[in-house]
Chain A
Amino acid sequence: MIMHLVPQIIFIIICVAAIGLFARRVMDIRQNILLGRDAYYTDNAAQRWRNVLLLAFGQKKMFRNPLVAILHFFVYAGFIIINIEVLEIILDGMLGSHRLFAPYLGSAYNLLINAFELLAVLVITACAVFLVRRNIIKIKRFISKDLDGWPRSDANYILITEIILMLLFLTMNATDQVLQSRGYGHYAEHITGNFIISGMLMPAYGSLSDGTLVTLERSCWWLHIVGILAFMNYLPYSKHLHIILAFPNAYYARLLPKGEMNNMPAVQNEVLYAMQPELAPTPDPDAPTPKFGARDVFDLSWKNLLDAYTCTECGRCSAACPANITGKALSPRKIMMDTRDRLTEVAKNIKTNRQFKDDGKSLLHSYITVEELRACTTCNACVEECPVSISPLEIILELRRSLIMEESNAPQEWNAMFSNIENNFAPWKFSPDDRDKWASEMSS
């Protein structure tokens, strides 16, 4: 009697462990994101929900390349819709039942499973095409050196895992149907009839013995669900986390015109008090010296850090970046990957030392070089292209602020430009008296 319950107990333990581990990791990531500066992204809720619907659910930006968008949509729809089937699988596992929903749903059950199977085929096809694009056609943004090492393997592991999970699902259904047709054991109690895809696979298993089939069916069932739980726990360590974070990231997307840079009220006030000293408050000697721009991940906003975890390294940003296209060191994708890698390192540091212990490194310089930052034309192509509402530009500009205002690190020509603006009110060395010379030429 007890022996009968063993699989259920094992299943429940695996589920609880998987969900527990996942939840802990999610809390860790949340904590890491909140290491960023405060920023308010709560205005205009209506527009924000619209962005969630259009950009995240509707994947609007993906459709800038319709063919890839459709393939990606298959994988996405497959992922979401097949989760309904996962619900049945989980309940079956806990209750020790088999195809729990079948008797309640009647013919709708077959309709649903058929839909899942069709989706499974579409997912397999799309993932196969994606593997070919990455590894055989070698599309430029996928062979970029940004992805050398782990990131490239990460992408392939994800695609292969998705294919395997779908194949397990189809094999499970096919062997189940062969056993049904033989009237074997409890399989005979749920006659589902043939499913649309796995039904076609039945002949392949027809010659196997009942025992082998049961083993195969059970193995597929276990591998499929354990695979899904394992994949769920792989997510937060992988670029694939975008399937979750794309939604909050769309909600918190920047709503200002793309050309508008974030204001720095501290600097604004300092200039105001210099110009109108009567407005200046009595200086507070205990006030910490303000920091200008971002040198490390702590100085970025939490939205910048959420961006970093949301990035799935697709490289659309870098493929559109004028600097990257023309062979400069800058790659907006690398900016995001560097930010996440540094954040991971900082989080580890904090975990080990209970608080951040200076490690002599920073996002600026140790990860992102001056040359990369200097190549940006602030053209917003990266921001425009990102399907999941990331702004690499905001990070680039914050780091540039730190370079100039904290380190006085500027190319000589920029220093000349600054002094021209300050003294002649124009970036070039012209006399302000000549500003309307073009007009006097017209009057003569």
Chain B
Amino acid sequence: MQVPVMAELFAKQETPDILFWVGCAGSFDQRAQKITQAFTIILEKAGIKYAILGKEEACTGDPARRAGNEFLFQMMAYQNIQTLNNYGIKKIVTACPHCFNTLKNEYPVLGGNYEVIHHASFLQQLIDEGKVKMKESGSFKGKKITYHDSCYLGRANNIYEAPRKVLEALDGELVEMKHCRSKGLCCGAGGAQMFKEEEKGTVRVNLERTDEALGTGATVIASACPFCNTMLTDGVKNKEKEDTVLVLDVAELVARSLAE
């Protein structure tokens, strides 16, 4: 499979329908790369005309901005907006809620105006339109699945239902944690926490959240954010449950259940 890159399409004077913004986690983090690859497989399968920026993509600046480094954020935004505008990008899909939030909410005032869609909503659309079909009896049929709300998808952007709709399509049994939807408990990675040691406390945030997820008795913890995925995967390992409980992105769940 050859993943189309924007520069090459542009040279051939082709334009994709949608740009797949991979994000740094999806590009470099070994675990998150699997999510990226799963989502790519779905895009191919659904026959979407997409492209990635490849080496031209750069950090949106989200962690720098939230840490307080506005200069670095503005530099990254300037650079990315130049790239996106030069290619005349109109529509972007991304599997990272942090990239999603920055591209959708914070770039317009800086001159970057795009229709930005998170992959959970995009997957829901593909399923609704019948472009993605699930196996009759997929591997998650009847399995207990709990969904962990990403803060930057949920509270930050009010997207609660799309990922759940996608999970419902798997025919699993969706069980909710005590803190879900707008009351969702953070995984502990947001606000640039991912990139530093946690402050002194009584328990790590990801362990608190993992406890809640395991408490549902679910065998699959679904997330829609590469950072949440890392935090919960670490949590499950810490609780020595990695043999019985899977932490998977909604894209991975869909990719593993695609009809032949």
Chain A residues near B (Cβ < 8 Å): 64, 256-261, 263-264, 267-268, 270-272, 275, 292-293, 320, 322-323, 325-330, 371, 374-381, 383-384, 397, 400-405, 410-411, 413-414, 416-418, 421-422, 425-428, 430, 432-439, 441-443
CB distance from A51 to the nearest CB of B (A): 15
**Minimal Cβ-Cβ distance residue in A for B152:** A259
Residue of A nearest to B41 (CB): A442
Verify if B155 is at the interface (C-beta below 8 Å from A): yes
Is A404 a contact of B68 with CB atoms below 8 Å?
yes
Q: Inside 8 A of A64's CB, which chain B residues have their CB?
A: 183
A263 to B37, CA, bound (A): 34
- A-B contacts, 29 of them at CB < 8 A, read A256-B105, A258-B156, A260-B101, A263-B109, A263-B110, A271-B74, A322-B205, A326-B203, A327-B203, A329-B200, A377-B151, A377-B189, A377-B193, A379-B151, A379-B155, A380-B155, A381-B186, A400-B66, A400-B67, A401-B70, A404-B68, A417-B192, A421-B59, A422-B72, A432-B55, A435-B22, A435-B27, A438-B37, A439-B54
Q: How far is the CA of A417 from the CA of B192 in the complex (A)?
A: 9
CA distance A272 to B110 in the complex (A): 10
Q: Which residues of B contact A258 (CB under 8 A)?
A: 155-157
Which A residues are CB-close (under 8 A) to B158?
257
- Kindly list chain A residues whose C-beta atoms are within 8 Å of the C-beta of B201: 323, 326-328, 375
Q: Which of B152-199 contact A (CB under 8 A)?
A: 152, 155-158, 182-186, 188-199
Contact: A264 with B5, CB < 8 Å?
no
| B185 and A414 contact, CB distance less than 8 A | no
In the complex the two chains form, what is the Cα distance from A410 to B68 in whole Å?
Answer: 9
- CB-CB under 8 A from B27, the residues of chain A are 426, 434-438
Query: A38 to nearest B CB, angstroms?
Result: 18
Is the beta-carbon distance between B205 and A414 smaller than 8 angstroms? no
Residue among B57, B184, B200, B209 making CB contact with A328, cutoff 8 Å: B200
Binding site for A on B (CB under 8 A): 1-3, 5, 22, 24, 26-29, 33, 36-37, 40, 52, 54-55, 57-59, 61, 63-72, 74-76, 78, 101, 104-106, 109-110, 151-152, 155-158, 182-186, 188-205, 208-209
**Cβ of B65: which chain A residues have Cβ within 8 Å of it?**
261
A61 to chain B, nearest CB (A): 10
A403: chain B residues within 8 A (beta carbon): 68
In the assembled complex, the Cα of A405 lies from the Cα of B27 at a distance in Å of: 29
How would you classify the secondary structure of chain A's contact residues: helix, strand, loop or mixed? helix
- Residue pair A376, B196 in contact (C-beta under 8 Å): no
* CA A422 to CA B75, docked complex, whole Å: 9
Contact at B28–A401, with CB atoms within 8 Å? Answer: no
Cβ distance A163 to chain B, nearest Cβ, rounded Å: 32
* A325→B209 CA distance, assembly (Å): 11
Distance of A217 from chain B, by nearest CB (Å): 50
Is the CB–CB distance between B5 and A328 below 8 Å? no
Cα distance, A293 to B65, chains bound together (Å):
12
Q: How far is the CA of A182 from the CA of B68 in the complex (A)?
A: 75
Question: In the complex, which residues of chain B have a beta carbon less than 8 angstroms from the beta carbon of A293?
Answer: 68, 70
Question: A326 near B63 (CB under 8 angstroms)?
Answer: no
Q: Give 15 new A-B contacts, CB below 8 A, not counting A257-B156, A379-B190.
A: A267-B71, A268-B74, A271-B71, A322-B185, A323-B205, A328-B201, A380-B151, A381-B155, A400-B67, A404-B67, A425-B76, A432-B58, A436-B27, A437-B27, A438-B33
Pairwise interchain contact A434-B28, C-beta atoms closer than 8 A: yes
Shortest Cβ distance from B3 into A: residue: A439
How many Å from the CB of B148 to the closest CB on chain A?
Answer: 12
CB distance from B232 to the nearest CB of A (A): 13
Q: Which residue of A lies closest to B150 (CB)?
A: A379
A148 to B55 CA separation, bound complex (whole angstroms) = 55
Please tell me if the beta carbons of B199 and A421 are within 8 angstroms of each other in the complex: no
**CB-CB nearest in chain B for A439:** B3
Chain A residues near B76 (CB, 8 Å)? 421, 425
Q: Max chain B CB contacts within 10 Å: which of A379, A410, A443?
A: A379
Q: How far is the CA of A96 from the CA of B55 in the complex (A)?
A: 85
For the complex, what is the distance from the CA of A248 to the CA of B204, rounded to whole Å? 38
Looking across the interface, which residue of chain A has its beta carbon closest to that of B67? Answer: A414
Q: Which of B197, B204, B205 contacts A411 (CB 8 A)?
A: B197
The 10 residue pairs across chains A and B that have the minimum distance between CB atoms: A259-B156, A327-B202, A378-B191, A404-B68, A425-B58, A400-B68, A379-B186, A327-B201, A439-B3, A260-B105
Contact of B70 among A292, A326, A427 (CB under 8 A): A292
Known: A257-B105, A435-B57. A418 touches B205 (CB 8 A): no
Known A-B contacts A257-B105, A326-B205, A436-B5; the reply to A375 vs B151 at CB < 8 A is no
**Once the chains are docked, how many angstroms separate the CA of A320 from the CA of B152?**
16
Complex alpha-carbon distance, A411 and B191, angstroms: 14
Known A-B contacts A257-B105, A377-B188, A435-B28; A418 and B69 likewise in contact (beta carbons under 8 Å): yes
Q: Is the CB of B54 within 8 A of A436?
A: yes
Chain B hits for A418, CB < 8 A: 64, 67, 69, 72
Q: How far is the CA of A211 from the CA of B57 in the complex (A)?
A: 89
The chain B residue with its CB closest to the CB of A324 is: B201
Among A259, A275, A379, A405, the residue within 8 A (CB) of B69 is A405
Residues of B with C-beta under 8 A to A436 = 3, 5, 27, 52, 54-55
Give the docked Cα–Cα distance between A327 and B152 (Å).
23
Among B3, B33, B66, B199, the residue within 8 A (CB) of A397 is B66
Question: How far, in whole Å, are A428 and B194 apart by their CA atoms in the complex?
Answer: 11
Q: Which of A377, A405, A416, A434 is within 8 Å of B68, CB to CB?
A: A405
Q: Which of chain A's residues have a CB closer than 8 A to the CB of B72?
A: 418, 421-422
Question: Which B-chain residue is minimally distant from A267 (CB atoms)?
Answer: B70
Q: Determine the residue in chain B with the shortest Cβ distance to A321.
A: B186
Cα–Cα distance between A258 and B195 once the two chains are bound (Å): 22
Q: Known: A259-B156, A427-B24. Contact between A268 and B205, CB under 8 A?
A: no
Asked whether B199 lies within 8 Å of A323 as measured between CB atoms, the reply is yes
Contact A421/B64 with A325-B185, A378-B190 known, Cβ cut-off 8 Å: yes
A267 in contact with B208 (CB, 8 Å)? no
A427-B195 in contact given A258-B155, A261-B65, A418-B64 (Cβ < 8 Å): yes
Q: Which residue of B lies closest to A293 (CB)?
A: B68
Checking A322, A411, A434, A443 against B3 with a beta-carbon cut-off of 8 angstroms, the contacting residue is A443
